[in-house]
Amino acid sequence: MPFDPATAKDDILKFLDEKKEKKTKFYFNDFTALFPDGKPREVKKILSDLVKEEKLEYWSSGSTTMYGLKGAGKHASGED
């Protein structure tokens, strides 16, 4: 998928929505693979913007950070 900053947020949300039945958390590299012609820094900025807008949220295992749709899947606040 070509990287277009104007549509990248919608592309990411669409990608996550299509995958949410099977997988709810994705690594940063999953998104750089989604936009092979986008620079990692540009992709990171889009993801950070989506987190600030509360459409995405971070999930951390302690050693790695993943991204997912807000409210989808397991989250630290709901885990025992």
The tens digit of pLDDT for each residue in 22-74 reads 888 999 999 999 999 889 999 999 999 999 999 999 988 888 889 998 876 66
Helices (H), 1-80: 8-19, 28-34, 40-52
Taking alpha carbons only, the member of 6, 5, 13 closest to residue 69 is: 13
Q: How far apart are CA 54 and CA 32, in angstroms?
A: 21
Residue 78 CA to residue 44 CA, distance in Å, equals 26
User: How high is the pLDDT of residue 24?
Assistant: 86
For the segment 9-29, what is each residue's pLDDT rounded down to a tens digit? 999 999 998 887 888 899 999
pTM higher than 0.85, yes or no? Answer: no
Could you tell me which CATH number the domain at 5-70 has? 1.10.10.10
Residue-range domain boundaries for the chain: 5-70
